[in-house]
Amino acid sequence: MLIRMASNQQTGPGIGELAKDTVRGRIGVVMGAVGGRVQIRPIGGGMEWDAMPDNVVVPSAREELSARLAIRNANSWNGL
């Protein structure tokens, strides 16, 4: 049985939280929502992209750790 929540209930990550765009397979930080789309920015900064709300989920602990580690490693190569 499929259970649907009311449209005004938040089902995905909120602003400032990590999110995974399941279509692109990318993880970033939710910056907001405009025009029915969620705006996500890469963890290390950069250009935001839009995703449909149904395609945005909370990343697993492993996915979050992997994304944060990749940013940390990239920053260490740049001397940050």
pLDDT at 35 over 70: yes
pLDDT value, residue 75: 80
The domain spans of the chain are: 18-74
Largest CA distance in the chain: 52
3-state secondary structure of 30: strand
Rg of the Cα atoms in the chain: 14
Distances (CA, A) of 33 to 2, 12, 48, 76: 26, 12, 11, 32
3-state secondary structure of 75: helix
Query: Given pLDDT bands bounded at 50, 70 and 90, which one contains residue 79?
Result: low
39-61: pLDDT as tens digits: 999 988 899 999 999 999 999 99
